[in-house]
């Protein structure tokens, strides 16, 4: 990140809610975002009380939880990267 700042460039930092629509798609998306040159990829872990998040992220977290996404499953998915 310091190199980007020094070079006057902007970082590309996408955010994904892990498990929406499913963890295999999350893993594929992370790989594609990495290949596209992301500086950092932020993965949001869905939880049952996302009050600090806006409605779009809340909806994504709810969908992921309804499909059984858990912290343990997200960490396993991250390990596969």
Whether residue 49 lies in the annotated active site: no
Q: Active site residue: 34, 42, 49, 79, which one? A: 42
The question of whether 7 is a catalytic residue gets the answer: no
Total residues found in the chain within this entry: 81
Q: Which residues pair with 43 in a beta bridge?
A: 16
Catalytic residue, from 28, 53, 66, 79: name it.
Answer: 53
Active site residues: 42, 53
């Amino acid at each position: 990140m310091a190199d980007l700042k020094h070079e006057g460039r902007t970082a590309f930092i996408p955010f994904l809610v892990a498990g929406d629509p499913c963890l295999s798609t999350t893993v594929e998306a992370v790989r594609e975002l990495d290949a596209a040159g992301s500086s950092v990829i932020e993965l949001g872990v869905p939880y049952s009380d996302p009050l600090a998040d806006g409605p779009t992220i809340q909806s994504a977290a709810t969908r992921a939880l309804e499909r059984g996404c858990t912290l343990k499953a997200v960490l396993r998915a991250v390990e596969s990267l």
